[in-house]
Structure 1
Amino acid sequence: MPRSERSPLLLAGLLAVAGVAHFAAPRQFDAIVPTRLPGSPRAWTYGSGAVELALAAGVAAPRTRTAAARAAAAFFVGVFPANVQMAVDSRRGPARRRTAALARLPLQVPLVLWARGIARSGEGQS
């Protein structure tokens, strides 16, 4: 499989695993939903999990890859406040959790760039 095909499938896999995790272990995600958001944290957890699964399917399929990759980049930007919330909340927790939460913040940048790169590589293809 050419490298250009592996990258979208790897991103799709990452999104799928994250999406499934939202349903399999929702409490950990409920805890990082910013309190300013309206409604139930569980609704946001399940909603974001469903979005991740849809994005995974879209990125995996060559026909929808470009649009789905653009949407994934926007999604990664959109969930950044939850990562900030996790970092803020981890200040009172064990050092290991604090380190993991802080390390997650800059991870959003390569995820956004990865998704944008996949979208760009698909532009102009039919």
Structure 2
Amino acid sequence: MKMVLRLLYSLLLIIAGIGHFTKKRGFERTVPDILPAKSFIVQFTGVLEILFGVFLWIKKGQAVTSKLLAAFMIAVFPANINMAVKEIPFQPGGSPNKIILWLRLPLQIPLIVGAFKLGRK
């Protein structure tokens, strides 16, 4: 079961991380206006997501990686809140789905808990 969870997280993280480069403008819109250097933040978090996706498979550091991943997910949570409050659609130029934007916020909790579980033996 943990292998399946690790695979799902890894795929999600790597695909999302690549998206930070291929759909950079869309991700930049999710960064709260109070933060400077939106392009850098998007690229940096994209690199982190790709690295997390890879590091989840390195046995020796899985405990540390899972804790850092959970902390990372908590740190980027304000971007999800920003999307919901400002009704930022997932696709630039698209229309926002307010229900999904708000429903995905509580769904972050099991994702964070799952990240912690990936590092447990």
Show CA shifts across 1:27-65 (max 9, x none): 111001011112x21111111101101111111222222
Taking the aligned partners of 2:79 and 2:112, their CA distance within structure 1 comes to: 15
Aligned to 1:120: 120
**Which of these residues, 24, 36, 41, is aligned with residue 26 of structure 1?**
24
Aligned to 2:64: 67
Aligned to 1:124: none
Q: Cα–Cα, structure 1 residues 52 and 91, in superposed 2: closer, same or farther, change >3 Å? A: closer
* C-alpha RMSD over aligned residues: 1.9
9-18 vs 109-118, greater mean Cα deviation: 9-18
Aligned to 1:105: 105
Aligned to 2:5: 7
Letter in 1 for 2:4: R
Give TM-score, length-normalised by structure 1.
0.84
Give TM-score, length-normalised by structure 2.
0.87
Taking the aligned partners of 1:19 and 1:30, their CA distance within structure 2 comes to: 13
TM-aligned CA deviation for residue 91 of structure 1:
7.6
Task: Select the structure that is richer in helix.
Answer: 1
Instruction: Give the secondary-structure state (helix, strand or coil) at the position aligned to 2:79.
Output: helix
Show CA shifts across 1:81-109 (max 9, x none): 00010001108984x52122112211210
Instruction: Give 5+ residue unaligned stretches, structure 1.
Output: 122-126
